[in-house]
Structure 1
Amino acid sequence: MQPRPCQGPAIAAFARSERGVRVSVTALTRDVAGSDLTTTRETTMGHLGALERLMITEDQPAWSASLRSSARRRKAPKRHLADPSLAAAALDATPDSLREDLNTLGFLFESLAIRDLRVYAQASSGRVTHFRDSNGREVDAIIELTDGGWAAIEVRLGTGAVDAAAASPIRFTGDLDLETMGKPRAG
């Protein structure tokens, strides 16, 4: 799916990168620039700053916990559009085009789930973080509550993905120092 020409290049590039993964500023700069090699990293950083101030984007911070793993934790936040419908609009997505591109639909669904989890967590003074390590293990959402309670959540679209989605938080929990962290309330 390609963005409509009337949209700003930063929003369109960001929509294409709405994958629930950390996208580097360099990669976004290349995408925004396209054939216009005059776009700089500083310009992209300015666009990202403006989008954040306008509350169009939200960062999902990385989780910090006591792990019993030698793998390096990724500490960079994942950046999401505040509402995945912005990405769908920037991509000019239609129900038919999303049925044909289940990969993009899955990314939009994950972003929607993260947005809704964030709303519910904030209502309880909690926050939603993510986890990823250098071995590629990840958990899409970790809800942390102020009383120390937490839950690990993996988001998947489709009935065929249920077992894989359930296995990821279970494997992740096995690498935690549960004496320090406490057992998850779910996950």
Structure 2
Amino acid sequence: MRYVKRHLETALDRSLEASRVVVLHGARQSGKTTLARHAAQKRGGSYVTLDDDASRLAALDDPVAYLSALRTPAVIDEVQLGGDRVVRAVKRIVDDSDERGRFLLTGSTNFLSVPTISESLAGRARILRLFPFSEAELEGSLRLDLTRWLDACSIDPPQQTEDRADYMSRLCRGGFPEAVALAPAQRQGWYDSYLETVVQRDVAELGDIRRAEALVDLVQWLAANSAGELNVQTACRQLGIDRSTFNHYFAWLRTVFMVNTVPAWSRKHAARVARRPKTHFADTGLATALLGVDADALASPTSTAAGPLLETFVANELTRQTAGSAGARLHHLRDYDGHEVDIVLERPDGALAAVEVKATGSPSENHLRPLRWLRDQLDRTAPGLFRIGVLLHTGPHCHPVGDRLWLAPINTLWHAEPQHP
């Protein structure tokens, strides 16, 4: 597959210039090795992987000597397999020198959550997360211009037209580089192997997993309930497990980046709001493979899975496009009176963009109600925070529909054409 430039590459380059150690972690097969090797090659660095038995044994035998011999920047792939012994050697080496970009560590588990690694490299490392491909990266597009959304309260129309079937094809393809390169008929087998590797190798080897079948059931349940609020009591009842088991297994699925949580949005001017996070399966291609649905099934107007999966698809795209930047953070909102907003994007200065996602190509007035409600609420309690409300849909319409409210096709997120005055 051709090299696809990652949006995170700029942040990675800057981090190597500023930090002694950079940690690049993310889901297995999300492209970390390709990006890390590309960064090292540009600087004449070296690469080793601890996924290789010989390299791992050599590193564990005398880690300081082994790592000191590597050219800068030294990429240590799958660093979690070396555990504390390797990470402490990295700490010792960088503490003896002020050299920037000495090590680039990659891992398929959350560096801060692996029990075999107690050393966090605090004050020495910049930690970056790489996600599977965003649609913008695959299209060679720039990141979404959130500044235009939040400051100009305006949306640039997409360059191309897509329909519901197109979006469902993208959704089922997912963003894992290997899966993207495969024909649709081959992806099911790839995803089956991926799940087996992550559950039976990564989680089982690092975690105290006593009921592997319960873990697989939980993965299936999370795929079926993607874009829903996390109700632990309901999950435990339906899966036949206790709360402690659920919490332990769910934490491990987050550690290997299989699920993302989106926190509830609340401020002092947003009373009576629910506090549960939403869970989104980290890749919709993997979710649809687990659920056994394809693009044709999801393209049907009667599909009940299309709406939640499309919301997850959009949430993932926004998460991937804002990763490594100082952009907006994702939240969701639901109050106890039944008002819900799918996604709330909040910038550090407090400016908000509210996003609703609908699988329809012909949005109606009713679909705009959540956005109107939040706009009016915030205008009364916190004037100036609500900047724009966007209803993303599968049709072609892109235009304003009232005060700071817009209709926009979903592919606006990766095909927007800047409009100049």
State TM-score, norm by structure 1: 0.82
Letter in 2 for 1:138: E
Residue 12 of structure 1 corresponds to which residue in structure 2? Answer: 220
Number of aligned residues: 175
Instruction: Report the equivalent of 2:265.
Output: 63
Pairwise CA distance, 1:83: 1.3
Distance 1:178 1:120 in 2: 31
Q: Decide which structure has the larger Cα Rg and report it.
A: 2
State the match for 2:309 in structure 1: 108
Give distance in 1, aligned partners of 2:359 and 2:349: 31
- Deviation string, structure 1 residues 136-186 (Cα, Å, up to 9, x no partner): 101111111123221111111112334333231111211125563524221
Q: Are 2:264 and 2:278, in contact at CA under 8 Å, matched by a contact in 1?
A: yes
Q: Partner of 1:95 in structure 2?
A: 295
CA–CA distance in structure 1, aligned partners of residues 279 and 359 of structure 2: 20
Is 2:378–2:386's contact at 8 Å kept on the other side of the alignment?
no
- Structure 2 letter corresponding to 1:9: D
Give secondary structure in 1 for the equivalent of 2:362.
Answer: helix
Kindly report which structure 2 residues correspond to 1:85-164, keeping only aligned pairs within 5 A, or say none: 85-100=285-300, 101-122=302-323, 123-164=325-366
Q: Cα 1:124–1:92, aligned 2, differ >3 Å: closer, same or farther?
A: same
Query: Which structure ranks higher in relative contact order (CA pairs < 8 Å, sequence separation ≥ 6)?
Result: 1
SS at match of 1:185: strand
Distance 1:61 1:68, change over 3 A: closer
> Structure 1: which 5+ residue stretches go unaligned?
34-38
Distance change (3 Å), C-alpha of 1:11 and 1:68: closer
The whole-number CA distance in structure 1 between the counterparts of 2:245 and 2:312 is 25
Equivalent-residue separation in structure 2 for 1:164 and 1:124 (angstroms): 34
Question: d(CA) in 1 for partners of 2:330 and 2:278?
Answer: 11
In structure 1, distance between residues paired with 2:382 and 2:337: 23
Residues 164 and 121 of structure 1, relative CA distance in 2, 3 Å threshold: farther
Aligned partners of 2:331 and 2:260: how far apart in 1? 12
Aligned to 2:51: none
Amino acid corresponding to residue 110 of structure 1 in structure 2: E
Question: How far, CA to CA, are the matches of 2:278 and 2:270 in structure 1?
Answer: 23
Contact 1:121 1:143 in 2 (8 A): no
RMSD of equivalent CA atoms: 2.3
1:25–1:44 contact (8 Å) kept in structure 2:
yes
Instruction: Give me the whole-angstrom Cα distance separating, in 2, the residues matched to 1:179 and 1:9.
Output: 44
Q: What residue in structure 1 maps to residue 229 of structure 2? A: 22
Hey, what's the Cα distance between the residues in 1 that align with 2:266 and 2:291?
34
**CA deviations over 1:17-58 (Å, ceiling 9, x no partner):** 11x22131122123323xxxxx32211111101101111111
SS in 1 for 2:345: strand
Instruction: Report the counterpart of residue 75 of structure 1 in structure 2.
Output: 275
What secondary structure, in the 3-state scheme, does the structure 2 residue paired with 1:55 have? coil
Provide the rounded CA distance (Å) in 2 between the counterparts of 1:77 and 1:89: 24
Provide runs of 4+ in structure 1 moved above 4 Å. Answer: none
**Aligned counterparts of 2:317 and 2:279: Cα–Cα separation in 1:** 15
User: Contact 2:269–2:382 (CA<8 Å) still a contact in 1?
Assistant: no
Unmatched tracts of structure 2, length 5 or more = 1-191, 197-212, 390-421
| Residues 307 and 358 in structure 2, CA contact (< 8 A), matched pair in contact too | yes
Identity of counterpart residues, as a percentage? 26
Shift in Å, 1:68:
6.8
Contact 2:378 2:385 in 1 (8 A): no
What is the letter of the counterpart of residue 16 of structure 1? A
CA spacing shift, 1:68–1:74, aligned 2, 3 Å:
closer
**SS state at 2:374 partner:** helix
Distance 1:68 1:114 in 2: 22
